[in-house]
């Protein structure tokens, strides 16, 4: 496959132009693929990938971080909690109407293990797909006992049955309904993708106060461990301003890695692939691999009210 970045070797790019500098930088960054893999957590780390804003890169972040971690040797499960099923599609998972899905787990009480499929991506990457049935699930879930804990109960049973995973990522729909609340009750970590294209912090306060409410009721261990800046366009001043602003407010949580706006990233899902497999050496892929590496190196945060060991050991 031809990489636009490889044009660094052609005379079309001036040696000292900003583009040339960016490209040689990318060549160096690609070495992350040959370096040692980051350590694996000893207990599963469960993330919910949330932002009630639509189209900020939740699904793209979920599938690409998951794919990158699987490439590093981790066993990873993606739970697609969005009726749109975009995460399932990007992972090459069949999710038409008759295929068992996360709906069967939440509404019918089926075991999580009965709906999981292996992704077509490299490594030990699995997905519990969603389908359009999930669109009506929130209404049905309202009359079920422990409606806020349906996913958590299913995950606990799943781990108790001896299923071993290093990471679980739950891709949420862009709303704060019962599906997202189920994700919040199930996870210890929230990964928030922030699009560097509008005044991002405004939308964030609602999400943060929801997490605070969840902390007081459903899940005291949930915390925002990771913020990822996505769709960064280095040519615009707004992108730099948004990035600086978010870093100032959340110095601990924001990853150093930043995901640029890149055509390859947006093309990959139409081939039922993540960009990490679709065009591994492209700038979008390398950026997601860097972000995944950083998440793995940082390890699980220490939650309020838990010992370090419990927190590192995740949700079991």
Ligand X SMILES: Nc1ncnc2c1ncn2[C@@H]1O[C@H](COP(=O)(O)OP(=O)(O)OP(=O)(O)O)[C@@H](O)[C@H]1O
**How many residues touch ligand X (CB under 6 A)?**
19
Q: Where in 69-128 is the site for Mg ion (CB under 5 A)?
A: 86
From residue 30, how far is each of 3, 9, 280 by CA, in Å? 13, 16, 9
The count of other CB atoms within 10 Å of the CB of residue 172 is 28
In angstroms, what is the minimal distance from the CB of 283 to ligand X? 9
**How many residues touch Mg ion (CB under 5 A)?**
3
In angstroms, what is the minimal distance from the CB of 231 to ligand X? 5
Of 76, 77, 68, nearest to 37 by C-alpha is 68
For the chain, the helix, strand and coil percentages under 3-state DSSP, each to the nearest 5: 45, 15, 40
86 versus 88: smaller Cβ distance to Mg ion: 86
DSSP secondary structure string for all residues of 166-215: SEEEEEPPSS-SHHHHHHHHH-SEEEEEEETTS-HHHHHHHHHHHHHHHH
The count of other CB atoms within 10 Å of the CB of residue 9 is 9
95 binds ligand X (CB under 6 A): no
For 40, residues 6+ apart whose C-beta sits below 8 A from its C-beta are 73, 74, 166, 296
54 binds, among Mg ion, ligand X, none (CB under 5 to 8 A by kind): ligand X
Q: What are phi and psi of 160, to 5 degrees?
A: -65, -30
Q: Which of 48, 50, 51, 59 binds Mg ion (CB under 5 A)?
A: 59
196 binds ligand X (CB under 6 A): no
58 binds Mg ion (CB under 5 A): yes
Q: Which of 56, 102, 137, 183 binds ligand X (CB under 6 A)?
A: 56
129 binds, among Mg ion, ligand X, none (CB under 5 to 8 A by kind): none
284 binds, among ligand X, Mg ion, none (CB under 5 to 8 A by kind): ligand X
Residue ranges binding Mg ion (CB under 5 A):
58-59, 86
Residue ranges binding ligand X (CB under 6 A):
54-60, 82, 86, 174, 230-231, 259, 261-262, 265-266, 269, 284
């Amino acid at each position: 496959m031809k990489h636009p970045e490889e044009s660094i070797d052609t005379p079309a790019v001036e040696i000292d132009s900003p583009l040339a500098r960016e490209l040689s930088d990318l060549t160096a960054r690609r070495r992350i693929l040959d370096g040692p893999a980051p350590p694996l957590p000893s207990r599963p780390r469960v993330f919910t990938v949330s932002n009630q804003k639509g189209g900020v890169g939740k699904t793209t972040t979920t599938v690409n971080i998951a794919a990158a971690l699987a490439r590093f040797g981790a066993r990873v499960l993606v739970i697609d909690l969005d009726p749109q099923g975009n995460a399932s599609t990007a992972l090459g998972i069949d999710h038409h109407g008759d295929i068992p899905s996360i709906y069967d787990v939440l509404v019918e009480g089926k075991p999580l293990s009965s709906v999981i499929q292996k992704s077509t991506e490299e490594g030990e990457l699995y997905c519990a797909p969603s389908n359009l049935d999930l669109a009506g699930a929130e209404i049905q879930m309202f009359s079920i006992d422990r409606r806020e804990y349906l996913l958590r109960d299913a995950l606990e049973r799943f781990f108790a049955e001896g299923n071993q995973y290093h990471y679980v990522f739950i891709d949420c729909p862009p709303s704060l309904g019962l599906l997202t609340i189920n994700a919040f009750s199930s996870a210890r970590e929230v990964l928030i993708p922030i699009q560097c294209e509008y005044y991002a912090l405004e939308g964030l306060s609602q999400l943060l106060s929801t997490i605070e409410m969840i902390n007081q009721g459903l899940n005291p261990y949930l915390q925002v461990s990771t913020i990822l800046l996505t769709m960064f366009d280095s040519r615009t001043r707004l992108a730099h301003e948004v990035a600086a602003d978010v870093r100032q407010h959340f110095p601990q949580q924001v990853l150093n890695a930043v995901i640029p706006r890149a055509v390859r990233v947006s093309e990959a899902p139409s081939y039922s692939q993540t960009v990490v497999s679709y065009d591994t050496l492209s700038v979008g892929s390398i950026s997601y691999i860097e972000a995944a590496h950083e998440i793995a190196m940082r390890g699980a945060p220490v939650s309020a009210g838990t010992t370090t060991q419990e927190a590192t050991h995740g949700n079991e």
